[in-house]
Structure 1
Amino acid sequence: MPFTIAFYVHHHGSGHLMRTMQIVDALKGHQVMLMGSGLKKITHLPPHVTLVHLPLDVAEENEKVIADSPPPTGLHYAPLGIKGNRDRVAIMTEIFRSHYPLILVVDVSVEVALLARMAGIPTIIIRQHGQRNDLAHQSAYDSAELLIAPFARSMYIGEEDHFFKKTFFAGGFSKFDQTKNDQEIDPKMICILIGKGGTSINLELIVHIAKSCPSYQFNVMGLNDGESQALNNLQFHGEVKNPAPLIGQAILVMGNTGHNTVMEMASLNKRFIGIPEDRPFDEQLEKAKSIEGRSGISIIHPQQLYYTNWTDLFEKISSEKVDWKNVIHASALNNVADAIINTAKKFF
């Protein structure tokens, strides 16, 4: 029986959408639908994919909301009185009704996963690092037919419980999996990556590091500011569509320990200084722990940033052979696609 594979794509940051688009590319030959509030970022839409734009679930300007009612224990986000929230729920439940048979891949939202299950829609949840033992996550995980971890089983942290046994560990993948890094490496060039979800790697820190390490050249991606600093060893590139060439030249890369950044560094086999940021459920902290202790990789916590001897650290990491063994899996995307299709076929 023909079926639709729908994805709910969380709009916070860019990682969920980036991951989804890679999985979608491996689902050619199947009808795919993406639902989310951040889908206008998509510049190229494959012919087998349709979009459903959802309104944001936050109050509009001058909208009167009920602000004194916290979400119940079993939910993460359930504001009262917000029109956008009512509208998005109505749109999704109508999709569930009109496009059945349908299976929903949730990346990520406890509330959407539970809404789909209440509508009789089988779900698959993308599993992330972090402390997910709260009631809301446990309820969503329990309601799902399958959990898919886009990383290797060796990177899992936690007990081998019921949900561990329910998880398919696909192995890691990134947009750079097919990128050949055959550039000559500059032993004094360092790349600094600035993400969109909030970071301790700000202009003040970058200038501090550049001033304390005058023999190194720093290329900063994701930030435009800094032209007034007039430091000869510091260059800002802003948003870079294809950062691989710059990263390829660098002896090492600094960035946060978000999922995509970690996987991209593994794909490019780069020495890495990871800075875990404060995220819900300690996601980046746990991701950092999953790679900590490997050769050519160092984890620096935000409170250590101004107490680190950066020259010594750069020299130490540069002298080590980086170890990303078993992080990236060549068949990961096909494995994810097969897991989704096979789960759907159990129902349709």
Structure 2
Amino acid sequence: MTRPTVAWYVHHHGSGHLGRLRAVAPHLDADVVALSSLPEPADLPPHVDWVRLDRDDEPDPDTGRRPSEADPAAGGLLHWAPLLHPGHRGRLARIARELDARGAAAVVVDVSVEVTVFARLLGVPPVLMAQPGVRDDEPHALGLRAAARVLAPWPADLVPAPHLEPVRDRVVFTGGISRFDGREAPDGAREGVLVLGGRGGSGVTAEHVDAAARATPGHRWTALGAGGAWTDDPWRELAGAGTVVSFAGQNSVADLAVAGARAVVVPQDRPFDEQAVTARALDRAGLAVVEPAWPEPARWPEVLDRAATLAPDWSVWGTAGAAARAAEAIADVARGRGAW
């Protein structure tokens, strides 16, 4: 059988969307063309080609008009489709050219309602990467209905997702997808506090981390992101930490699960309460100490004491084999076995 081509739209906000591509692509028996306005990352698998798209979230270079001023939501029908914006027009035109020229058999969309619907209008079955949160608005419903398959990278029985119920027959709950699945933990005792920030933005600064460290002199603190240094591969630090302080993004939680971490999770403000919903699920399952906001310095000794008593059963997050399950679902659609 001819090896299919799968296009993969990678949203540029944060690092989680790219992280999922990195995790799933090695398991996917297809040629992959990644479509994103992010710069091409290093060390992609050899079967992944990268196409750089125009930006559609910057002022029009000719008129100076911001896209937020150009009715991007189409009166509530869509999330982002600014009128008369050359970047928006250019990126969709490039997507159409690539799908046509490469004969794409499926498009993974992580994430965009507009790209999902656009792919469906072009007659290419979209595989939509779902996100948790309160997503009962009209655009989300439109994107879900247009998708041939929906991948939910979390455990079905722990995170409520009523927005997926109308298309439940097309949803594959893969479990948390982490690029670290299968890695060995480093030797030695777990010690110290690691603050694991992300690239999606947060209100946590180096000053917050320094104040918490001063309030807990018995603990050595390290920050990756959140005002500290950044590394593209934090596995050694993550798996070697006594306590990990993390946000509640999907990739971050999946990485905590793979590492078997004792964690303090501080959800960040995100659209549709994505991180808040995820954090509440972790709290109910007893998987992490959840703080609704970054604690005041005087509270950190008690917070770390509570984290030290955790014995989380992270296996319930379903990370083992999750990337392979996602790849299998994508391949099913690309080979004409999708649910549509």
TM-score by length of 1: 0.88
2:331 is the alignment partner of 1:346: no
The percent identity for this pair of structures is: 29
Structure 1 contact 173–267 (Cα < 8 Å) conserved: no
Q: Is the 8 A contact 1:152 1:170 kept in 2?
A: yes
2:266 aligns with one of 269, 275, 299: 275
2:165 to 158, 161, 176: 161
- The aligned amino acid for 2:23 is Q
Q: 1:115 to 1:190 in 2, by over 3 A?
A: same
Q: Deviation string for 1:269-326 (max 9, x for gaps)?
A: 0001011111111111111122113445111112x62276110121121123223132
Kept after mapping to 1: 8 A contact 2:175/2:319: yes
CA contact (8 A) 1:6 1:103 kept: yes
Report deviation, 1:36.
0.8
Structure 1 runs of 4+ aligned residues shifted over 6 Å read none
In structure 1, what residue type is equivalent to 2:242? I
Q: Give CA deviations for 1:60-100 in whole Å, capped at 9, x if unaligned.
A: 57431372535221100111222111111111112232222
- The CA distance in 2 between the partners of 1:318 and 1:167, in whole Å, is 36
Specify the alignment match of 1:194 in structure 2.
197
Please tell me whether Structure 1 or Structure 2 has the larger radius of gyration of its CA atoms.
1
Rounded Cα–Cα distance in structure 2 between residues aligned with 1:186 and 1:252: 8
Query: Do residues 146 (structure 1) and 149 (structure 2) align?
Result: yes
Structure 1: gaps (5+ residues): 226-235
**Structure number with higher relative contact order (C-alpha < 8 Å, ≥ 6 residues apart):** 2
In the alignment, what sits opposite 1:59?
58
The match for 1:254 among 245, 248, 266 is: 245
Query: How far, CA to CA, are the matches of 2:47 and 2:153 in structure 1?
Result: 23
Pairs aligned (count): 332
Question: Alpha carbons of 1:135 and 1:308: their partners in 2 closer, same or farther (altered >3 Å)?
Answer: farther
* Pairing partner for 2:305 from 307, 311, 315: 315
SS at 1:155 equivalent = coil
Which residue matches 1:135? 138
3-state SS of 1:21 partner: helix
Q: Which moved more, 1:161-170 or 1:260-269?
A: 161-170
How large is the Cα RMSD of the aligned pairs? Answer: 2.2
Structure 2 unpaired stretches of 5+: none
| Alignment partner, residue 332 of structure 1 | 322
Instruction: Name the counterpart of 1:240.
Output: 231
Among candidates 181, 186, 190, match of residue 185 of structure 2: 181
Asked if the contact 1:252–1:271 (Cα under 8 Å) also holds between the matched residues in 2, the reply is yes
The DSSP-based 3-state class of the residue aligned with 1:50 is: strand
